[in-house]
Amino acid sequence: MADLSGTWLGTYWQRGVPTRFELTLLQGGNTLSGNILDDSYLGEASLTGEVIGRKVNFIKRYITSSNHSVRYTGSVSEDQNFMQGQWQLDSYNSGNWEAYRSDNNLSINLEILRVEKVPAARSL
């Protein structure tokens, strides 16, 4: 069984237009949970799903901007560093997606940049 815990950077395509996303997964046995941050107006979503062997499937539910649930299905590469598959919202909205394992966490990197730009208070 693949171990998918960690941070992933990916892209999904809707009507030929790419949207980047950051995916953070937690895996316990076959069960997946996590968060996705889309680089679009849709924003943050939570997910629940499962991994069976090298097959992955999960449901993405947007937190604030939409009440739609998007089903993702796909497969994991043998080295467990790449996933790809199909997403489907309804019978009219579907497309491809892919994600690569990343050591970078964009949210943490953004927070580090904020801290570095705000100088620490100096005591006299």
Domain boundaries, the chain: 6-117
Give residue 124's pLDDT: 47
Joined tokens for residue 54: 């090298």
Q: pLDDT tens digit string along 46-70?
A: 999 999 999 999 999 988 766 778 9
Residue 83 to residue 4: CA distance in whole angstroms: 9
Residue 22's beta-bridge partner residues?
A: 9, 37
Joined tokens for residue 116: 């570095």
Angle, vertex CA 11, rays to CA 10 and CA 15, nearest 5: 165
Topology adopted by domain 6-117: Lipocalin (2.40.128)
Residue 58 to residue 87: CA distance in whole angstroms: 9
- Assess whether pLDDT exceeds 80 at residue 31: yes
Residue 82's beta-bridge partner residues?
A: 100
91 confidence band (pLDDT: 50, 70, 90) = confident
